[in-house]
Chain A
Amino acid sequence: MKLNKMIFPLMLALVATVAFTGCKKGFSGKVTGLPGPRQQAPTGDGTDLTTKPFAPIDTTGPISNPVAPTGPIAYDPTKRWDPANMIQDRATVADQTVHFAFDSAAVLSKEESKLVIVSEKLKSDPSAYMLIEGHCDERGTDEYNRALGERRALALREALIRSGIEDGRVQTISFGKDKPADTGHDEAAWAKNRRGEFILCHQKTGA
């Protein structure tokens, strides 16, 4: 009795499947594709609406990161240019100076829009190069700060390269704590001094 109760729905399902398959086989009319939850709405311009299949979920490895990998980008020595041979323009991108948190080379999210502007500037002016100065506040030893300033400038360089700027167009120079923007000795001064400054560079004519 119990067995019959279970078999009945199963048989129903089987019949339904056979009926549906048979029906599809015999159907020869047009099929209208309706957008699923992940499909775009029809645009009416004949664009193929086929969606990409969902990526299979990989449970073995780490969670995949959809953004470009971060990390150091080595210099290509064949692409080096000498800033001394360039016309250096601090004014054009002066407002885009990026500021950092204490003892950190991480680009803060509130500073990212400045990088977008700098990247767009370089994209709109293919003959331009960019020199990035890395600076620190005075709270850190000399050579530690020289490394930290370089790391800050390199973090900005990496961000520009990831935004599509060719690597050879961006160079860095660290001044550590040797060139403060503000010579004060309080948090307001320190905040101003933890920075990456952009210098737009163009080849001197005839060079």
Chain B
Amino acid sequence: MKKLILTLALAVGALNFLRAEDMIIPISKDTEILGQMKPIPVALTGFTGEAAEVLKFDLYVQGYSFVSPDAAQYLINGTDTGSVVGSVTDKFARKVVLSRSYNGASLRRQAHAFADDIVQATTTLKPIGAGKIAFKSQRAAGSGEIYVADFDGFGAQSVTSDNAIVAKPAWVPGRMALYYTSYARDNPDIFFHSLSTGQRRVVAGYSGLNTSASVSPDGSKVAMILSKSGSPNVWVSDADGKNLKKLTSGLEDSSPCWSPDGKWICFATKKAERRRLAKIPAGGGEVQYLNTTGAANPTEPDWSPDGKWIAFTRQAGDFDICVMPADGSLPPTVLVAGQNPSWSPNSRTLVFNHGGNGHQTLSVLDVFTKQYKDCRRATGSNSQPAWAR
């Protein structure tokens, strides 16, 4: 009997050790596991309807797969009658790692909160369930509105009501405020829009193109594309549009984004008639071209909040989402078909849009397992999502 217990303890210990190793591998070699990591197998029992839908969506796009209890690493069980009650059992460790009940708000919010707690109890990831996205919703005639929704597309609300062409919403970090492009004044101008007060104002409305606003991590600066000097280039201003400075001088620059330390601006440009990604010091300086070998026609870069990755869109016939280490140490990995990637605060999940023939759908992607799921669609074609962070 003692021997049996000892063997069991050793076995559990060994399993724990193995699991610990599994956890270490992705951290030390994560540049090699983009799109290749195996999902965490879980069994989901007891939930119905909306709660089950939310749990399945949230966990799938954070790298979990749903299997029978026999094949699962974690058993997720609970009920959703009136409110969400749930527990998570680690089959290997043979212990309950989470047991919680939720009340208040909506059943939907409770299910998101439970999914977040599951992620925190079983990984080192920052959960995304409370995340918001902003995006462009376009009607067939070309005009549209800027929308804000939960990260899964639910609860979509229009921010604008101009019935004008709109583009490229960008969040102010940590605030319920957006910058976006609107043709409401018969010119592509950049607006600042506070979602809490409803106040908005034009930040850049110069002759020619004003678009692609991107807010610095501390919220004090805005990078954007202006063509008032005769070609579309990257400019930087204070948050209110003042102290404008021209940063680049290519013939066709687009889509600036900030490094999380605020020191660099990454953008798409052209060199010798070829589309390239480049970065430039945010205060001005020399342009450095990024090595995107193997990913033709790169555009739309987005730098992950942890500084490690740059996601972008390549175009080889159709569009694909790619991710590469920001330090250029490895070539990009092509993940799935789509455009306009935007990182969530956890630096592992992206929201992007995909689809053909002018009809775009938003989708959420786990870059490690390549698992993705479509968001609920707002009216029209949905594109250019931006994850609040």
Contacts and interface: CB of A to CB of B under 8 A. Distances in A.
Nearest to A148: B252
A83 B232 contact: no
A178 B232 contact: no
Nearest to B207: A75
Given A77-B206, A141-B315, A185-B356, A146 B252 contact: no
Report, as a range, how many residues of chain B touch the other chain: 35 or more
- A-B pairs, 7 with minimum CB distance: A72-B230, A75-B207, A147-B232, A147-B254, A150-B209, A72-B231, A144-B299
Contacts of B89: none
Given A73-B230, A174-B209, A83 B186 contact: yes
A148 B254 CA distance: 9
Interface of B: 138, 142, 165, 167-168, 185-188, 206-209, 211-212, 225, 227-232, 251-255, 268, 275, 299-300, 313, 315, 319, 339-340, 356-358, 383-384
B142 A141 contact: no
29 contacts: A72-B229, A72-B251, A74-B229, A74-B230, A75-B228, A75-B229, A84-B186, A138-B358, A141-B319, A143-B254, A143-B255, A143-B268, A143-B300, A146-B211, A148-B252, A150-B227, A151-B227, A151-B251, A154-B230, A158-B230, A172-B208, A172-B209, A173-B188, A174-B227, A178-B165, A178-B167, A179-B142, A179-B165, A183-B358
B187 A173 contact: yes
B145 to A, nearest CB: 13
Nearest to A185: B357
Nearest to A184: B357
Contact of B231 (A77, A142, A151): A151
Nearest to A167: B230
A58 interface: no
Nearest to A172: B208
Nearest to A150: B209
Contacts of B315: 139-141
A114 interface: no
Contacts of B165: 175, 178-179
A172 B315 CA distance: 27
Interface string A97-121: 0000000010000000000000000
Given A175-B165, A185-B357, A141 B225 contact: no
Contacts of A178: 138, 142, 165, 167
B227 A141 contact: no
A173 B185 CA distance: 12
Interface string A142-179: 11101110110010001000000000000111111011
A178 B255 CA distance: 17
Contacts of A175: 142, 165
B185 A84 contact: yes
A187 interface: no
Contacts of B356: 185
Interface residues of A, number: 35
A147 B235 CA distance: 14
A80 interface: yes
A82 interface: yes
Contacts of B357: 185
Contacts of B187: 83, 173
A154 B231 contact: yes
Given A141-B340, A151-B252, A146 B230 contact: no
B313 A141 contact: yes
B254 A80 contact: no
Contacts of B225: 143, 146-147
Contacts of B232: 146-147, 150-151
B135 to A, nearest CB: 11
Nearest to A140: B315
A108 B254 CA distance: 24
Contacts of B299: 140-141, 143-144
Given A142-B167, A143-B212, A173-B188, A105 B206 contact: no
A176 B339 CA distance: 15
Contact of A144 (B188, B229, B275): B275
B350 to A, nearest CB: 15
A138 B228 CA distance: 25
A6 B121 CA distance: 107
Given A71-B230, A75-B207, A151-B232, 8 more contacts: A75-B208, A75-B230, A84-B185, A141-B319, A143-B211, A146-B167, A172-B207, A176-B167
Interface in A33-91: 71-75, 77, 80, 82-84
Contacts of B229: 72, 74-75
A31 B253 CA distance: 64
A104 B278 CA distance: 20
